Structures are given as C-alpha cells and as structure tokens.
Structure 1
C-alpha cells in the first residue's frame, strides 16, 4: 500500500508518527509505504488543496518505486491528485490499474466550495476533466460506488465495458447488530423510540429541517439523539433550545459506535438538494444498514433508492419539515416491535449489496482481470492501493 501519514479526520498526524519523505512499515502482513504530505482537514480551501497536492507529488516522486513490479494497482480516486502515481505505474512500469471513483471530480471540487464558478472556474473544470479522462483512459477498469455515478461517467465518454458497480462497505467490526444500549447512560426510558443522527453537522446535511420536524412531534415516547460535530453544530444547538425531545451528545468515539447504534430504533440520513445530491451515497447509509437499523432518509437520488429497494425505512423530501415530521410519525406508528423487522431487512440488504464480502470479491475480480489482460511484470503482488489517508 502506498499512502500518507495518518491524519484523518482531525488533520493532525497521529501519535507515534512524524512526517518524513518516505517510510515503510508492515501492518497486518501488508507492506505500507508512507510518503510526506501536508496534514490538514479544515475548512481552508488553500490548506485542503495543499493536503491533496502534497500527497500527489510525494506519491509520484517518493513512492513511485514502490509500485514497480506489481501485477495490478487499485487506485482510491479521491482526490484525483493520485493520478501522478497511477500514471507512473502504468507508463513507466507497465502496471495495469483499477480506478475506484469514490467522489466524482471535478464536480466535488465545485460542490464543496473549493473552486468558484465563472470563466476561471470553467477553465479549471475543463483542465480537471482532461485530467480525469487521462485516469479513466489509462485504467483497465473504472469502478463506481453509486448507480448515478456510473451513468455520469458513461455520459462523459468512459466506455461501458470499463465501468463496474462496486459500492463501498462499512466497518463491519463496528457497525453490526448487537452492542449494549446506552439508554441508561443518557437517561432514556426503555420504551422510548430513539431517532439517531450520527455524523458530520455541516451545511450539506440540512439538519435544521430535522430540528424543526422534531419541534412538530408531541409524542412523549420520541427522543432524537444528535451525535457528532461540525460547522453548523452551534447553530443547531441554538435552534433546538427548549426542545425536550432533542439531545446533543457531541462526538462519539469509534469504539462507542456499536453501542450507540444499539441505542437507536431508527437512524436519520439527510442530504440537502444540490448538484451532486442525486448521486451521493453518504457512508452513514451503509453503516446504518450494517448495524441492522431502519432509516429515515431526507434525500434524493441513489440514497433514496436504497430505502426503496431494501424496504428498510422511510423517505422524506429534503428540506421539507412537514415531510420529515411525517416520516418520524410513521416510524412512531410502528413502535419498537414494528421497527425491528425493518432492521432485519436493512441488514439483509447490506449483506447482499454493500458487505465487505461482496465488495472485496468485486474488487479482486477486477484486479485479476487487469493483471491477466495487462502487461505481466511479476507475480505475487496483486493488490496495492494508492490513497492519501
């Protein structure tokens, strides 16, 4: 694996590491090559671009040699600055690659506010699109994580035979049925019906509509837990003042997530309408399904399609307070016994669609095809990944 020094999600290099040009360690039997990067995950556009760019240059210059002699390379495409290392591997060493599109570029750059519209933006977008096409063109196959992304890529000229649906999975050691409810910790009655939102609190999630929907719910059994942090957290806390059915519990460690999921009866996924919302698949979708919990989804596009296909939840219109409140009331109408079978459907759908077993099998098949059809350099080094984390 070729990667950077661990710094996600805090933007601070993890304890026990210091940034150097290149180090190698062995983790779980895998040789991990780490190269220098500028560690940052804050809201600064400049710092985020420095983070993306520094890893891209280091991976190509300091880490390129680690890619020599591979049979196939799996490229974690986000951000697209990893293209340098991919192209070195392909054109200098003859290593075929599988590009896995986790975020659609250049769309993500503009939707996230990292680049502006206008003439300069159009010039930048055109350059980035050519960059992306070079990645697609040099790859043996291009994997995508939601159906609409595949349709978009095909519309941009990626040949249909190169495109393969490979959705991402959850951390199944954490997000799984079971766990010990934390209701006593939070002072929540056993007969309460708990709606959980766990994740980033930013503009994209549209959580102010959830708070207002909770204001419309008078059922004494209802409790909404808000776990996480982000740029809108303070505003959301202020908006929820005086609401007895909304509780903010701050950030929760990964080790506590299994028990927090066990506390909930249904989970909320929100996504404000924007240019990319129809093809965005928030990772909390897979996490909720893996934990065997029903969903209330206030979003459009592919994530809404998951609810419809799985039969494991309730749909609401994004930003529509009345629609979200109606979905909450529908969940309350089923009660805890009625919600449990929806949780079973959620886990069954996860196992058949999103699981590690399914996803890894698809990735391995693509890597094997790439290795068999591409230049044969050596044997025994099939799966390597290029990523910045």
Structure 2
C-alpha cells in the first residue's frame, strides 16, 4: 500500500512525539511505501533540534520512510498565543507545502493533536479523495481544559467552537481510532458511530528497553539501600504533582528518594513548593536527554503516574504507562479510570486513586513494605502484560488493518 502519515510530531522528538515515527517505520518494515508530512522537530522545549533549521520545506529519508518537513513557529511555553501560533503555522504550512506529497496515497493516518491538523486533513480527504484514519491521541477540547493552558473564561469562550471543529473531524474521517476504552465510550457519546471506531492503544519506544543498561544510581549518590520513586514527564497542571511533593515531605524513611525528571509550565512552582514544605528527598533533574532515559528507568524501583482529578482523568492514558510496563518497572498510579484499570490488570501497579497527598503517601508506604525485590516482580508482570496488550507490533498491525479496510471501502464506493 501507499500510506501517508500526517503528524505535527515526529522523530527525533522524544516521548509521545516519537510514536508516529515508530508507526511509520513499522509500516515501512511491512513493505508499504510510507510518506510523512510533519514539522521541524522542536518538542518539548521549542528549540529546533540540532541538525535542522526551519525553512519552507525539507525532504529527507529516515529508515525507508520518506519525510517532508514544513515550516512552523516553534514554541512550547505557557503562552496561549505562541502555542496557537505553533499549531496554526504547522497546519498552514502543511496545507501549502506538504499535502501535495500525499497525493495518490491509498490511505492516510492522521494524528489528531493538535486539532488544527484538520485543515490539511480535510484537503487530503475532499480534494484528493483519500480515506483518512484519524487517531485520537488527545481528546480535544478536554485536553485544553485539563492542562491549565487556558483560563476558564477563555476556555468557555472557545469550547463550543472546538467541539464543533472536532465533530467535523470525526465525521470526515473514514475511521476513528481511540487509545483507551474510556475514550471509545466518550466518542460514541459524542456521536461517532460504533462501527466507525477501532481500538488502537499506543505503544512505547521499545528500542529504549530492549538492552540492559547501567542505572544512574552511582552518579546520583544512591546505593542499593535506597528505594527510588521516579517521575519522568511533563511538569504541568494536568499531572497534579503537588500532591507527590507534599507526600514525599511526610516520608520519614532516610532511604527513600524521589527523582523528578522533565520540564513544563509547573516546574518552577514545584521546585519552590518542595523547598517550602521541606521535601528534601525530592530531587529535580530537569530534562533528561532521550539517550539517558533507559538509565533513568533502570534507576527507579517504582515509577509514578498521576493525573489531577477531573472528568478527563477517567479516560486519559499517559504514554508513560506503556513506557513503564515495557521497561519492566512497577508503577505507583495516582489516578482513576483507565490508567488505574491497567495498573490492576497488569499486576504491575499500586493504584491509590486520585492524586491526593494522603493517598499518594499511602502508596509510597506500600511500596516500601513490598521492598525492592517484590517491586521487581511486579515489573516483570507488567512487561509480560505490555507485550500481550500494547506492543508496537500489535499496534502497527491494528493500524495496518484499519488502513486496508478504509482503502478497500474507498475503492468500493468509487466503483
């Protein structure tokens, strides 16, 4: 098949932004001609990656995947105006300089976040008459509300427009993929027909977990006595990390250490909070380079996943869930809904409910009682569950099947 991929995010961007690259390479490895339209890499800090400079367009081939990059305004700070410029500039550039690369494809996979990608998506669908598999990676407008990126007043002013916009995206797509059971149910409630939906959970960057690595304990001054809890990811409003900091301040075990790696709009406030509440056992590492993430994963005995209590928390599935399971590590999950269900079903997690200080503290105490050896056993269960449920091979296969189906339907309708 000739398959297109339309995503603002792509290699060499790390974390969840790398997942479209895994998909593209997986499809190419199965013999498909894969053409990608994406932006210049600048996630997560808004700085263009080394080796790239922004220009109108730039073509390259990465591991048999043909990539066209188009210009955008790079920003990932807390400014709603600059973030909107980032999203809007990619959509405009993709429409003007990118979509021509996808003419003649049998089907196109589209990552829905940000929803401004609808502009080039609609051109592909209606101008080129190519079927679209829209993968709902983030549920909009819910993501905007939960992130704290926009004030309540501003959000209410645009909520109706965003809902209408997303509804048009779902209707124009030939098929809509969802990443967790809760999202699938919600999309049905929002009018997407059940026969148009397909379950495609996301996968981890598995190559980062396939070889043993040395942990960072020695360089961080930690030894085998220390029980290490790691949070790695975005430091933003949706994660509710204040309760983690407050809980750590109440842990009196001198061998307990919490490592916080990442950056985001809440980083300065969290550092200040740790100082104010006396959480001396919390260490902020800042952004850890992608190549060091396996070592950081190996350092933790248990990894923290949290979501601030909200309606959206019930169906949000952070990418670190799959990353932690694939790495064979135990999880402390301070969230309800689909994430808590995975923690229980996998046997890899301690699920304590919402991100509340008392509940998080109880989870840390449970981890301490289990000890490092038993936490390793939980992690081994999680790795087995990951390869049964979330692996990249499984996910790519599901996407491939969905693309084949909508391509056949398009040919049938044309005939």
2:269 to 232, 235, 241: 235
Question: TM-score scaled by structure 2?
Answer: 0.85
SS in 2 for 1:375: helix
Cα distance change on mapping 1:202 and 1:130 into 2, 3 Å: closer
1: distance between equivalents of 2:197 and 2:43?
A: 29
Partner residue, 1:381: none
Structure 2 contact 133–174 (Cα < 8 Å) conserved: yes
Pair 1:218-2:252 in alignment: yes
Partner residue, 1:382: none
Moved more, 305-314 or 242-251: 242-251
2: distance between equivalents of 1:122 and 1:230?
A: 24
Partner residue, 1:344: 380
For 1:334-373, list aligned pairs within 5 A.
Answer: 334-373=370-409
SS in 2 for 1:62: helix
For 1:282-361, list aligned pairs within 5 A.
Answer: 282-361=318-397
2: distance between equivalents of 1:184 and 1:62?
A: 49
Aligned residues: 376
SS in 1 for 2:202: coil
Kindly provide the CA deviation profile for residues 183-241 of structure 1, in whole angstroms up to 9, marking residues without a partner as x: 11111121321111112222222222112212222233322222223333333333334
RMSD: 2.0
Kindly provide the CA deviation profile for residues 129-166 of structure 1, in whole angstroms up to 9, marking residues without a partner as x: 23222221222210011111111110111010111111
Question: TM-score scaled by structure 1?
Answer: 0.91
2: distance between equivalents of 1:301 and 1:373?
A: 35
Partner residue, 1:136: 170
Deviation at 1:70, TM superposition (A): 0.4
1:274 to 289, 298, 310: 310
Kindly provide the CA deviation profile for residues 69-125 of structure 1, in whole angstroms up to 9, marking residues without a partner as x: 00000001111111122221121112111000011112223333455556x755633
Partner residue, 1:22: 57
Partner residue, 2:119: 84
Q: Which has the higher contact order (CA 8 A, sep 6+)?
A: 1
Partner residue, 2:128: 93
Partner residue, 1:159: 193
1:107 to 117, 142, 150: 142
Pair 1:182-2:216 in alignment: yes
1: distance between equivalents of 2:149 and 2:282?
A: 33
